[in-house]
Structure 1
Amino acid sequence: MDPHPAELERLQRTHSLKVTPAPVVYGLIFDLYLADSAECARVHQQLTSALRTLMLPAGREGQELAAQELSPDCSAQPGTQRLDLLAYNRAIAAAQARYGAGRVRPVLVYFNNLALPLPTGLAGDLRTLRSSATQPLVWALTLQAGAGTSLPFDVSETWTYSADAALTSPLERVARAQLPFDLMQQPPLEGFPVFSASELSTAREFKVCSSAGQVTGLNFTFGPKAVKVSPASPPRVSLAAAATSSLPAPHGSLQEAAARYEIEVCHANCERTYEPPDGDAAIWNTTSGCMLKTST
């Protein structure tokens, strides 16, 4: 038996990317026809108040974007309605500056109470927004035929009548199911460290014994062969889940990503032999695989 065997230790490592709530950023798009101007103002106020309560209940992070009125004063819809894309882009950029890039995915809520085809220009504007970097979702309360299929809506519910106290109930169900959006925590750009600062001070070499989850060594080969530890360039790993889209997604659609692995660390005499209780003596740092049988 070697009088100075390799000094070994087994350690468990876990790295995770958590799911957190994203801020709710939303904007209203009014495209209504109502002959009575007083009724127009009342419906605007009713919808604005209902959506504000729905989207931003007490304690929820987020903001309401300035509304866009496509049919001023609820006058006749001319068929040439267009969105002010520049104004929306500015508002979304301001929200990103406030909450952080990658944390904002707006919800745009479109209201239309006439069973008329969606103007071509407006449909194009909505598609342009939906394909932009923040990929906003468009929810609609409308009478337009075919909504939710060929039209650029992610959610389409039926407009009943302006005095209906339950007019926004379908959107309430959608909001309760989807909001707040989930946001996957982004990993550190430099990856996750294998060792803490105190562990790094005594670790000389290490091997990976086993792993669960898709984990990759960034500056070393992740596997059963011994790797020398350099304090100047500590070993770091990345998770495959880091490649997941960084955009917020409807609530419940993302799950925490985690990787667990076990390493065997050599603190001294790594080039000498180690004799496991149930095996033959072997030089630790030239033998593939771990030699200790249990974690310490």
Structure 2
Amino acid sequence: MAPASGKTQGYADGRPAATKRFSLIDEGIVLPYGNCPGECDQYGARDVWVFAYQGQFYMHYDAAGAVGWLTALATSRDLVHWTKHGTVLTLGAPGSRDSASASYGTTFFDGRTWHMFYLGTPHATSAPDRIPAFPYLTLKAHASSPTGPWIKDPDVTPFGPEPGTYYSATASPGQIIPNKGEYLQFFSASTDKPIKRTLSLARTSNLGGTWKIDAQPILPPEEQVENSSLYFERTNKTWFLFTNHIGIDQDGEYTDAIWAYWTKDLQHWNTADKAIVLDGKNST
């Protein structure tokens, strides 16, 4: 799909804008919040991670419930009609790394074991919102089935924020791609005060061990993007990366669009090669 040209309005603080747009039609809401077992998403359902296995689709999403934001599961045969199954993770013990949230669970199946990398944090805003707050940590769980039960691996620290880096406040999970004998994880990174968001690569040869983070992100932090999924188009050998873009107006920052970047080299991305996928102009 080729992007159509068309200028977009710039941002008040000068952050980069996308000047191209994909032509598409939004199908609308497929997973409304509410009606989750145990009222697990009574306040919201967002930040999805969808994967396929043996003819079925699985969706992990952030379920905002009475105790906090937790990874919940929904399944589908057609990507449109979904059945909710409730939360698959629980909060950690008081004082633990995931005591305030255990959410955004991305997965990878190595042929024997299912690996989940999820966002943990000991901090959240007050009830009832309980929005996860910095630091955002990448934690791990495993299972023998895509439906779980998921067993946390508290002794494993895949990677985390480091002071003085572009990931000083956030190092949260993303999609994993096997590549040339190693695994690449496209994780979300950010600083704090000011918050500059970007995407970067972590690398490992052992899904149950630690990951090495690249010295530089794949996109400049000024792009202000977070959370991503990738798709490889075999017909033209091009990778497409879909990500949330954070905009700003007189009321402050908010997620204003989904952008897509594209490249033929998985490890090198150009900020000029991007387009708006969804925003307020075409979202229903």
The normalised TM-score by structure 2 is: 0.22
In terms of fraction of residues, the more strand-rich structure is 2
| Richer in helix (by share) | 1
Computing the radius of gyration over CA atoms, which structure comes out larger, 1 or 2?
Answer: 1
TM-score (norm 1): 0.22
Q: Which has the higher contact order (CA 8 A, sep 6+)?
A: 1
